[in-house]
Structures are given as structure tokens and as C-alpha cells.
Amino acid sequence: MKLFMFNPDTTFDTKKMALKLKISPVLLRKELLVLQKSSLIKKRPSGWVLNHSFELLQPLSNLLSHNGPLAHKELIQRLSKVGRVKLIVVSGIFTDQWDGRIDIMLAGDKLNKKTLETTIRSIEADIGKDLRYAALDTVEFHYRAGIGDKLVRDVFDYPHEVVLDKIGIRR
């Protein structure tokens, strides 16, 4: 449901959805039929798409967006596996800014890029939306913050939440 609600103009084919959501094709087909029967989604020749004329679209959208993508504690737990994470800042969809430049910024040391990508894909599967993220080592973050780098400013100058701060940016 979140996949369609958070990507309202995207048509999804079954194979890509199963991979993106990390569920079996059999289970996915069952879920799609339920959503189709409820009129939330429609079948197109190229795949499945949100039904924009669904009567309860706005209340459902409000419910899903106010429910919050993930709790801060869970984000810390999941992202801590990618290395020595010292800073996690969320913005974008985590702060109801759907057109924000970035959703997650993290800084740390010895960050494993492959583990990070796997973790982000897992979070995306739970949320139902592709995430925009940046991972910087601590030295690079301090340098960028010090020179007023546009990426860092785009996070801190707009709605954001500091989820983890072991480097003292809140001071």
C-alpha cells in the first residue's frame, strides 16, 4: 500500500515490486488482488498503478504519512551495522518534505558501502519509497560543514531531525 501511496504516478510491474518489497511473487499477487478489490490500485497493461479516484485516498495518505516512516531508534539500530556511525540526520520524507533533496545523511568512520546500500534497500522496502541519502566519513562531513557545502546546508537549513549525534553538531 505504501509503495503506491508514496509513488502515486509510478506504474509498477510485479517482478520489480517483489524485488523492491522483498516478498515472494506469490504473496505479492495475493496482496495486489486485495488492493485491486478495494479499488486502491488499478491494473494497466504495463503494471499496477494507484487509483487516483479512490474515495479514501486522502485520509489514507494522511494516515500513512503521519504514521512516520520509521522510529529513530530503529533507524539507529539498522544503520549502526554499516560502520562506526557518528551522525544520522533525517529530512525529506521523514519530515513530510516529499520534494526535499535528501532523506538521510549519515557520517561516520569505516562505513561499508555495500552494507549501507543493502540496509538502505531494506529500509526502502519497509517504507515503500526510494530514499535519497548521503554517507560521508567524519572528516569529510566536518570539512563540508565548515565550508558551508550546499548538500549539508540543504539538510540543516530546512526541516530535519538529528537522530544520532556523537560528533557534537547540536552544540
For residue 119, the model assigns a pLDDT of: 96
For residue 66, the model assigns a pLDDT of: 53
Q: What is the H or E stretch that residue 136 is in?
A: strand 133-137
Q: Which sequence spans correspond to the domains of the chain?
A: 2-66, 72-165
pTM of the predicted model as reported, rounded to 2 decimal places: 0.71
Q: Does the pLDDT at position 3 exceed 70? A: yes
User: What's the pLDDT tens digit per position in 96-149?
Assistant: 777 778 999 999 999 999 999 999 999 988 887 889 999 999 999 999 999 999
For residue 116, the model assigns a pLDDT of: 97
- Confidence class for position 20, pLDDT limits 50, 70, 90: confident
- Tell whether domain 72-165 is in CATH 3.30.460: yes
Q: Does the pLDDT at position 14 exceed 60? A: yes
How far apart, in Å, are the Cα atoms of 71 and each of 5, 40, 87, 123, 127?
19, 26, 16, 11, 11
For residue 160, the model assigns a pLDDT of: 93
Measured between alpha carbons, how far is 81 from 54 in angstroms, rounded to an integer?
Answer: 40
User: What's the pLDDT tens digit per position in 33-91?
Assistant: 999 999 999 999 999 999 999 999 888 877 776 545 568 889 999 999 999 999 999 99
For residue 65, the model assigns a pLDDT of: 60
For the domain 2-66, what is the CATH code?
A: 1.10.10.10
Contact (CB, 8 A) for 125 and 144: no
